Structure 1
Amino acid sequence: MESVQPSNVQQKPSPGTWRRFWAEPWFAILTIILALAILLFIVAPVFAVLLKSFGLGTGSFTFEYYTKFFQESYYLNALYNSVMSSLITTFVVVMLSVAVSLYVTRSNNFLAKSYKGIALLPLVAPPFIFSLALIILFGRSGVVTNFFGDLFGPEFSIYGFWGVVLAQIIGYFPIGYMLIESTFRNMNANLEYAAQDLGANQWKTLGGITLPLAKSGIIKGALLVFVMALADFSNPLIIGGGESFLASEAYLLVVGQQNLEQAAVLGVFLILPSLIIFIFQTYILKDSDIATISGDSGIANVPLSKPVKALVGTISTIFSAFVLLMFVMVVLGAFVKIIGINNTFTLDHFNNQTGWGSLYNSLLVSLISALLAAGLGILQGFLFARKVIPGKKMLEFLTLFGLAVPGTVMGIGYVLIFNGPPFFLTGTVLLLVLNMTFRKIGVGLEAAISKMHQIDMSMEEASNDLGAGPYKTFFKVIVPLLTPAFVAGFVYAFMTAMVSISSVVFLISPGTNLVAVYILNLAEQGKVGLASAMSFIMIVIVLMCLALLKFIERRTGVRI
């Protein structure tokens, strides 16, 4: 997903703003309904977590839970582990993304095209799948551990802090890579050619021209990776080896101890960095990459010199091979009895009615959520781009903020709001749909705003002049033109909803379990074969969605 930015279309409020807002009453009513929905399903859960952290709802305002957080080394260690793992993950992901992006954008061979596809593969699986693959390889009975037992020694263990970091690096690599690769690909090559003409070698050109011009994409990628790694709760549960991390501890406090107040405190420490980074990225970095791209940015990028190509090519090859190995391990684990111990071919792992039921639930929930997220996002994008709306900028900010809120925080917030009067929705499919819809609605909004900027207003004006009116114009002119954006938003929302876990894990019940949560539970229980089988099915489904999304992008030019 590209960086989240609100549209630049913003009309200044005036004394007649409300009069113009109500000039088309049905659009005004839809805007109010959408605004109320955004407040209820995005803003309210965040505020509920914040208020709960101060004990509100239990009788009195108190700092007791914050005091406990800072007094107990266990929680401070969770904070330290989360921050340090996120920093290390971000640094390594950025370094790898720069190397792979340089090779992919400045080479025109089969390997470069292959590495570009491999770099996006982790998108088709939940991040914790790589923890499962690492356990298959390096666990106590892992393939590599058994084969090279003497090399690793009895003290070696993939479980713990560094196992979590390694899983996060692989799982969140595509987030940094997509932004950095896009920046390198659209860079003005004339500046690099000019530097070489003036006698600078490629190492100096990279350090003095290329990387400084790409700093906006690099910073945006780093910020997104940091936030996602900080909010990761599934990898610590599977491969953390008992090490405490903020998100996983918040989850355990809710499901294990029913201590919502202390879990809310941990949620506050998750959301504060997300809020700061989201504001920084939205309002400070949004125009900082203008100088990177010019009218000549279509000129072929500068080819890599042999030493540079050898370095970035080697890094790209090793990393791509390791990513492929992760997927191969999961696939093999699905089709053998016990990988590394009993490698007899079997299909028994697929004969799991509970797993198929969870997969059906995920398909149903993801389908409905994606339709709603794309549809509402498209409608909201049209309203924001064409209509006078009081408080438009704030409403747009709140909508897009739904993409930045850590799933753990959103899940706890939904439990606080929808597990009592006036709403009793916890454990229902409806709540799962609402959660996923409003977490993904920003995707449809971005796609719609991007497409609306490409639509000349003269088409709408001509329709109105011919007597169609605003509502008929919307359905006859705007909706057909926004169809590619709707389809792209739908496919992306469906794909990401299928692998979502951090928020819905708080909301499921025995009858509404989802496949990602089911796989997580299997992995925690050490049922590698069953977990691998369901992971394989999910990967195939999401991989088809990713291929469809890329096809839509090529045909329509709509990018998500």
Structure 2
Amino acid sequence: MTEAIATLKARKPRMSAEGRLLHMTALVVPLVGLAIFFLYPLAIIVQRSFVQRDGALGLGNYRDVFGMGHIGRVVQNSLVMSGLTTLICVVLGFAIAYALQRTRLPYRRLISVALLLPLLAPSLVQALGLIFLFGRNGLISQATGWNLQIYGLWGLVISNTMYALPQAVMIIQAALRHSDSRQYDAAMVLGASPWRQFVDITLPKARFGLLSAGFVCFTVTITDFGNAAVIGGNYRVLATEIYAQVVGQMNFNMGAVVGIFLLIPTLLAFYLEKVAARRETGGGSESAVPVTPTRSAARDLPLGLVAFAAALFIVAVVGTVVYASFVSLWPYRLDLTLRNYNITAQGGYAPLWTSLVVSAQAAVIGTALLFALVVAQRRLTGGAAKAVYLLAIVPVGVPGLVLGLSYVLSFNVAHPLLGMVYGTTFLIALCNFYHYHSQGFLTMVTGIRTVPPALEETVTCMGGSSLHGMRDAILPVMLPTLVAVFFFLFMRSMVTLSAVIFLITPRLSVGAVSVLRLDQAGFTTQAAAFSVCIMGVVLAAMGLMKLALHLLSRRPEAASSARKLEVTD
């Protein structure tokens, strides 16, 4: 038997010239895309931060920024706001994730759906909802006469908490899901109390999930522009400062400097998270026995109240935006009408159709490039594989606002090749794709690990080319992953604001920017109506994704992969 196996291995054909060409193309094209549309723009924004007003290179812009009396306060405001939001999201997210994963809480699916609502619309929708409820003319303010001062720090913290909380819950819930019940059984046999089990097993196992959730929450809140622009008031943060420098004063070099300031804390958080990931030990294994939720009134009641309260608050805020979109004149005439959906200002519904085109382009281009990259990276070994992996995940540490500004500085030029893509849906689509490149890549890596190596080797040993191996072995198993990544890129592109705010032109805008402009122009109910339209598109996309994954899960060769995607979705 051993000799037969050795003979089969010896007969395994080497990669043909056609296969090497296919592998090289699959590797080079995505890497060239990363070089042109990620590394080059970042290099330009760093270079422009050193270009002084006279055109010479130096530290003049940095001296000017530090000379501004308010810049220190702006940096402090950003760190305080993001720090508070991250702390609340991690603590609250852990409580909700624990309630969903480790208790027999009723209506858990409804809570999970409610938590996803903030991800279905641009981030500023949470700020709109809070203003409709607690603003000077809000429903609760009008009914109670309270002056809640929702504008400023606490309005930002609440709205950003709503936006980041769903992501924190999903990350922590995934960490709790990989625990092994045998460790709890052993602890129980040794006489450990439930509290000791929680402290000695649950918390250490969830440590990496908590750190990852903290990194994500800090990054998305310190870089978010939508909520800060709508409800921030006089509480200035780095995101609004960049916008003021670039759009208000047309000072792109100073905007680049502030962008560097915004880039530093997110890259630092990214680095710390990766260091923690390398040191993480004792993770879940394939043979782990899932923990079965148990009943405990003393634990389940408070956790259930927290989960239900968070879900109800999110539903109330998002639901108020939907309700306001049908109101004649907020908050004075609350009779229902469809007049708000007759949007003619800010280009009418043209930006919504542009968003559909941009999102479709980002999804198609992104899915194809990511698939090619993971297939090529799978054949690499050693330092080359690690280098490709690192380059592919670095974009997650770059704020969308910084990436969008770098695109303006890089492609709004007279160069015949680089300048020709500026002001097109293609460039906005690429910005959205590279903004979410890391998440899509990691999902693809997870998906390709479900492809049995023996399956591809069988196709090759039977005389099939590398193209046949990709078509007949890899692609059928990875179809659920491709569908998930496609719709992920589509849905995120529909609601992204920070990454595209600088890329719109008088002739080209997108839906999320139109919501912001309608609100700034005083058409708040029309802004709510436009937000509802965006949410409707994203909900439809999510429904199509669920249907596609359900149909693919019936295919024998993809059933296992589809089930994994359904669990992690």
Asked if these proteins are the same fold (TM beyond 0.5), I'd say yes
Cα offset, 1:44, TM superposition: 1.2
Aligned twin of 1:16: none
Q: 1:330-479 to 2 correspondence within 5 Å?
A: 330-353=321-344, 354-387=347-380, 391-422=384-415, 423-424=418-419, 425-479=421-475
Paired residue type of 2:288: D
Q: Corresponding residue for 1:15?
A: none
Instruction: Measure the CA separation in 2 of the matches of 1:307 and 1:218.
Output: 24
Deviations 1:336-371 (A, max 9, x none): 112332101100111124332111110111011111
**Alpha-carbon distance in structure 1 between the residues aligned to 2:195 and 2:295:** 10
Does structure 2 retain, via aligned residues, the 8 Å contact 1:126–1:171? Answer: no
Residues of 2 paired with 1:141 and 1:50: CA distance? 44
1:507, 1:127 → 2: CA distance? 18
Kindly provide the amino acid, as one letter, of the partner of residue 466 in structure 2: P
- Match of residue 247 from structure 1: 239
Whole-angstrom distance in 1 between the partners of 2:302 and 2:267: 37
1:316 to 307, 313, 323: 307
Comparing 211-220 with 474-483, greater Cα deviation is found at 474-483
Contact 2:120 / 2:535 at 8 angstroms: preserved in 1? yes
* Mapped contact 2:396–2:435 kept (Cα < 8 A): yes
Equivalent pair of 1:358/1:518 in contact (CA under 8 Å): yes
Partner of 2:12: none
SS in 2 for 1:343: strand
Quote the offset at 1:283 in angstroms. 4.9
Query: Does residue 491 of the first structure (1) align with residue 487 of the second (2)?
Result: yes
1:4 matched to which residue of 2?
none
- After the TM superposition, list the runs of 4 or more consecutive aligned residues in structure 1 that deviate by more than 6 angstroms: 19-23
What is the deviation of 1:292? 4.6
CA distance in 2, matches of 1:65, 1:216: 39
Question: For 1:158, what is the secondary structure of its paired residue?
Answer: coil
Relative to 1, partners in 2 of residues 1:494 and 1:389: Cα closer, same or farther, differing over 3 Å?
A: farther
1:104-253, aligned counterparts within 5 Å? 104-149=100-145, 152-153=146-147, 156-253=148-245
Letter in 2 for 1:335: F
Return closer, same or farther for 1:73/1:198 CA change in 2, 3 Å cut-off. farther
Could you tell me which amino acid in structure 1 is paired with residue 152 of structure 2?
Answer: G
**Cα distance between partner residues in 2 of 1:477 and 1:206:** 43
The 3-state SS of whatever aligns with 1:337 is: strand
1:265 to 257, 260, 263: 257
The CA deviation string for residues 359-392 of structure 1, in whole angstroms up to 9 with x for no partner, is: 1110111011111111111111111112469844
- TM-superposed deviation, 1:112: 2.4
Aligned residue in 2 for 1:33: 29
- Farther-moved stretch of structure 1 (123-132 vs 57-66): 57-66
**Does the aligned pair in 2 maintain the 1:501–1:516 contact within 8 Å?**
yes
Q: Distance in 2 between matches of 1:416 and 1:21?
A: 41
Is the CA contact (8 Å cut-off) linking 2:325 and 2:532 kept in structure 1?
yes
In 2, are the aligned partners of 1:444 and 1:485 still within 8 Å (CA)?
no
> Mean Cα displacement is larger for which, 193-202 or 344-353?
193-202
CA contact (8 A) 1:48 1:416 kept: yes
* Distance in 2 between residues matched to 1:267 and 1:95, nearest whole Å: 29
Conserved 8 A contact 1:21-1:388: no
Equivalent residue of 2:366, what SS?
A: helix
The secondary structure found in structure 1 opposite 2:436 is helix
State the alpha-carbon separation in 1 of the partners of residues 334 and 184 from structure 2: 53
**Matched-pair identity in %:** 27
Alignment of 1:514-525 (within 5 A): 514-525=510-521
Residue 513 of structure 1 deviates from its aligned partner by: 0.8
312-321 or 185-194, which moves further after superposition?
185-194
Query: CA separation of 1:552/1:194 partners in 2, compared to 1, >3 Å: closer, same or farther?
Result: farther
Structure 1 distance, partners of 2:192, 2:29, is 59
Q: Give the drift of 1:453.
A: 1.5
C-alpha contact (below 8 Å) 1:381/1:446 kept by paired residues: no
In 1, are the aligned partners of 2:22 and 2:466 still within 8 Å (CA)? no
Of the candidates 75, 89, 93, which is equivalent to residue 93 of structure 1? Answer: 89
Contact 1:187–1:292 at 8 Å: present in 2 too? yes
CA distance in 2, matches of 1:203, 1:341: 53
Deviation at 1:501, TM superposition (A): 1.0
CA separation of 1:551/1:289 partners in 2, compared to 1, >3 Å: closer, same or farther? farther
Relative distance call for 1:23 and 1:323 in structure 2 (3 A) is closer
Determine if contact 1:21/1:389 at 8 Å carries over to the other structure.
no
Say which SS state the counterpart of residue 325 (structure 2) adopts: helix
Moved more, 189-198 or 116-125: 189-198
Equivalent residues of 2:367, 2:482 under 8 A apart: yes
Residue 256 to residue 482, structure 1, CA distance change in 2 (3 Å): same
Task: Quote the offset at 1:396 in angstroms.
Answer: 2.6
Instruction: Specify the SS of the correspondent of 1:467.
Output: coil
Specify the SS of the correspondent of 1:182: helix
Q: Give CA deviations for 1:470-501 in whole Å, capped at 9, x if unaligned.
A: 22322333223322211111011101110111
Are the aligned partners of 1:377 and 1:442 in contact in 2 as well (CA < 8 Å)?
no
Retained in 1: the 8 A contact 2:180–2:284? Answer: yes
| Structure-2 separation of matches of 1:269 and 1:442 | 22
- The answer (yes or no) to whether the contact 2:208–2:276 under 8 Å persists in 1 is no
Instruction: Select which of 265, 272, 278 maps to 2:270.
Output: 278
Distance 1:116 1:401 in 2: 29
Letter in 1 for 2:245: L
> Which moves more between the two structures, 89-98 or 443-452?
443-452
Question: Normalising to structure 2: TM-score of the pair?
Answer: 0.89
